[in-house]
Structure 1
Amino acid sequence: MAVEFAVPLVLYLLAVAVFAQGTSEFMLSGLIPDIARDLRVSIPAAGHLTSAFAVGMVVGAPLMAVASMRWSRRRALLAFLLVFLLVHVVGALTTSYGVLLATRIVAALANAGFLAVALATATSLVEPRAKGRATSILLGGITLACVVGVPGGAVLGQLWGWRSAFWAVALLSVPAVLAVVTAVPAGEPSAGAGGVRGELGALRHPRLMVTLLLGALVNGATFCAFTYLAPLVTDVTALGSVWVPAVLALFGLGSFIGVTVAGRFADLRPLPLLAVGGAALLGGWVVFALWAHHLVTALILVFLQGALSFAVGSTIISQVFYAAPAAPTLAGAYATASFNVGAALGPWLGGVTIGAGFGYRSPLWMSALLVALALLVAGGAFTRLSDTAGRVRRPPQVRSYTGVMRRRH
């Protein structure tokens, strides 16, 4: 049974801003070859621009969230979004790989702060049992970026060069700024009732640590494959480069469907969803690696893996807020950081395997390995929790046994 509730309009307006930022984060997947040629760097080096953005998100999420706790949520969201807009103008103008790398890090810091506060805002505006649905709406902006923004950026890159995609992101951020100004409550505080110390104290739960690790591994698998999807389909599947935007859109369409469907069930049955979805995700990466040369199979798996990746990933992110309900802002920050640890780790590992000469299929095998590790971690954590629950139920038996022994003596 799905969770139903009245959706505040502001959630969709926040998703507009997330769409602009998701477009920026993911659009390099379709621009990597052009950037590499223009700036005279290798394909893996251009792929590291995605990793740099993710590293900035990882570092920036907790730092920016803590820094903004004294502000209202509207002020924090607006400040982060304006910085994000300005650095994309710089990125569109630069001719230096180093400067472009720096702009990606700064943009990531701003994006991290925005997403952390936006997640906290979204989950605070709905019923306590509907955090998964609220999270899925916000993350829907990211998947729409895959469907529309990323392929659109690839088309712009082919028509007018990769810089035009950066200009497009800057322009796209303007209505997002207006949405934040007009729709986010002005007096809503960023921090929880306990302040920074209270939120930090709530983040020590083992369940939260396991959830964050799972999020990093699953998202690492997603980005490991997605970052190098363009060279995979052109060199292995033998599609022409003109079809790359369509393939990216197919992955994004699957992602949008996955996150939307998962959002309706993640609050009620998260464990079955994660277990079945995780196993299917692992099998999909293996089959994709084996059959990437087969056009029809490859296209089907692009769609399915996009759906499974974001269904599982968004469910994991929503569980972060259930694991740390007393730390809304820092829970959002750590969810953002976990998401982007994977986004940094995945492209780096994929680049390593490609650089080692294993070809463009190798990121798919690495994705399968990361999901397999996630399933092992989840299985170990579930077993440990079951054992702990069993020990909690044993004390009455132990006390009874102790009483019998005393009577015998």
Structure 2
Amino acid sequence: MPFALYLLALAVFAQGTSEFMLAGLGPDIASDLGVSVPAAGSLTSAFALGMIVGAPLMAVLGMRWPERRALLTFLAVFMAVHVAGAVTTDFAVLVATRVAAALANAGFLAVALTAAAGMAPAGAKGRATSVLLGGVTAACVAGVPAGAQLGQVLGWRSAFWAVAALCVPALAAIVRSVPAAPRPAGAGGGVAGELRALRDRRLQVTLLLGALVNAATFCAFTYLASVVTRVAGIGAGWVPVMLALFGVGSFLGVTIGGRLADAGPGPLRAAAGLALLGGWLAFALAAGDPVAATALVLVQGTLSFAVGSALIAQALYAATAAPSLGGAFATAAFNVGAAAGPWLGGLAIGAGHGFRAPLWVSAALVALALATAWTARAYDRRRVG
């Protein structure tokens, strides 16, 4: 794979750290700013909502820019709003900075996904996607636990400062390694032509499945610190370790998922989906056991990202009529899930079902995804018949 692809992954690492680190900082933010834990969890939903709106909007805005200019602009804005978030004492302002950061992150990721697919050899979009998303999993392995540790030692604001600092070498790397040449015009006939690619039913189903699986992942992950401390009874000092375990699983899952998508083995993806459902059910039932909870954090991190990254790559394969906006479609769909998951988990907690409830919600979302996939496949078979 081209070296520039790994440099893009460095920037994705900084952005992934920002997106996921609230799983370890939520309780501290809630205490410091005088809001509830579900309200602090809504910061993840706010970020995801910004990603949903921002992915297509920012991709269209930067469609005629050279890739380097687009990537630099989005990353510079992302860095600036993290500085603003680090100094604010108002929860509403913090929410606003999360939305602004998400808009910039969405634009960056949409361009980067398209660029990664263009850099990949034929039949290797899944592997190129896995390299780029490796920045996300590295954030889970190293960035998120480090952010949680910083939050415990120096306060949650220090994690925001650290993310802003991480953007500096990423900016330098993009200037040095990403070409400044204009991007080729989309084969889909401009913005209108590429938007028409959304009519493809295979793409629609893939995006819906991705949204549901990602909703399940974020529903559990957003409240993982509370599950670990309040249900499993593990000390708060172990939260960074548990987040790192989830991150190790996500790294393994992305590596598996990219190759799974390139090979295109439908039965294997179905088996992975069933395993993901079984894992969430097992986690919900055994969350009170510290040993079982620790093992299932690793297992579910692996399965969630294996299935999720395979669906991202499949969406890029299905969006061949939208070479410039295909990454935006995938980014928006997956962040619909990232917004819905924490919101649904917060509703379950707010309804008095306890901090085990998000795990049951995750299981229900994966079950819905499997039912959707089965229905779509049955419909296709009837049409062929």
Instruction: Give the TM-score normalised by the residue count of structure 2.
Output: 0.98
- Give the % identical residues: 67
- Higher mean C-alpha deviation, range 200-209 or range 10-19: 200-209
Partner residue, 1:205? 200
Partner residue, 2:41? 47
1:152 touches 1:245 (CA, 8 Å); kept in 2?
yes
1:112 touches 1:336 (CA, 8 Å); kept in 2?
yes
Paired residue secondary structure (1:185):
coil
2:8 touches 2:174 (CA, 8 Å); kept in 1?
yes
Paired letter, 2:18: S
Per the TM alignment, residue 322 of structure 1 is displaced from its structure 2 partner at its CA by 1.2
Per the TM alignment, residue 190 of structure 1 is displaced from its structure 2 partner at its CA by 6.6
- Higher mean C-alpha deviation, range 123-132 or range 43-52: 123-132
Partner residue, 2:239? 244
The separation in 1 between residues aligned to 2:374 and 2:273, in whole angstroms, is 11
Paired letter, 1:349: L
1:273 touches 1:312 (CA, 8 Å); kept in 2?
no
1:196 paired to 2:182: no
1:90 paired to 2:81: no
Per the TM alignment, residue 385 of structure 1 is displaced from its structure 2 partner at its CA by 1.1
Paired letter, 1:386: R
Per the TM alignment, residue 200 of structure 1 is displaced from its structure 2 partner at its CA by 1.6
Paired letter, 2:82: H
Per the TM alignment, residue 191 of structure 1 is displaced from its structure 2 partner at its CA by 4.9
Partner residue, 2:177? 183
Distance 1:227 1:328, change over 3 A: same
Please list every run of 5 or more consecutive structure 2 residues that lacks an aligned counterpart in the other structure: none
2:249 touches 2:298 (CA, 8 Å); kept in 1?
yes
Per the TM alignment, residue 202 of structure 1 is displaced from its structure 2 partner at its CA by 2.3
**Per-residue Cα deviation, 1:187-220 (whole angstroms, up to 9, x for no partner):** 1417523321221222210111111100000000
The separation in 1 between residues aligned to 2:213 and 2:355, in whole angstroms, is 20
Distance 1:191 1:348, change over 3 A: farther
User: Which of 270, 273, 277 does residue 275 from structure 1 map onto?
Assistant: 270
1:10-409 matches, cutoff 5 A = 10-189=4-183, 191-193=185-187, 194-390=189-385
Per the TM alignment, residue 382 of structure 1 is displaced from its structure 2 partner at its CA by 0.7
- Higher mean C-alpha deviation, range 227-236 or range 178-187: 178-187
The separation in 1 between residues aligned to 2:334 and 2:275, in whole angstroms, is 20
Paired letter, 2:170: A
Instruction: Give the TM-score normalised by the residue count of structure 1.
Output: 0.92
The separation in 2 between residues aligned to 1:210 and 1:46, in whole angstroms, is 32
The separation in 2 between residues aligned to 1:190 and 1:347, in whole angstroms, is 38
**Per-residue Cα deviation, 1:5-51 (whole angstroms, up to 9, x for no partner):** xx111111100000000000000000001000000000000000010
2:260 touches 2:269 (CA, 8 Å); kept in 1?
no
**Per-residue Cα deviation, 1:76-125 (whole angstroms, up to 9, x for no partner):** 11100000000000000100001000000000000000000000000001
Paired letter, 1:126: A
**Per-residue Cα deviation, 1:278-326 (whole angstroms, up to 9, x for no partner):** 0000000001000001111111100000000000000001011111112
The separation in 1 between residues aligned to 2:104 and 2:73, in whole angstroms, is 8
- Higher mean C-alpha deviation, range 204-213 or range 183-192: 183-192
Partner residue, 1:403? none
What CA RMSD, in Å, does the superposition of the two structures yield over aligned residues? 1.0
The separation in 2 between residues aligned to 1:129 and 1:269, in whole angstroms, is 10
The separation in 2 between residues aligned to 1:304 and 1:57, in whole angstroms, is 27
How many residue pairs end up in the alignment? 384
Paired letter, 1:218: V
Distance 1:172 1:316, change over 3 A: same
Distance 1:190 1:281, change over 3 A: farther
- Higher mean C-alpha deviation, range 346-355 or range 189-198: 189-198
2:215 touches 2:365 (CA, 8 Å); kept in 1?
yes
1:73 touches 1:190 (CA, 8 Å); kept in 2?
no
The separation in 1 between residues aligned to 2:319 and 2:341, in whole angstroms, is 26
The separation in 2 between residues aligned to 1:136 and 1:385, in whole angstroms, is 29
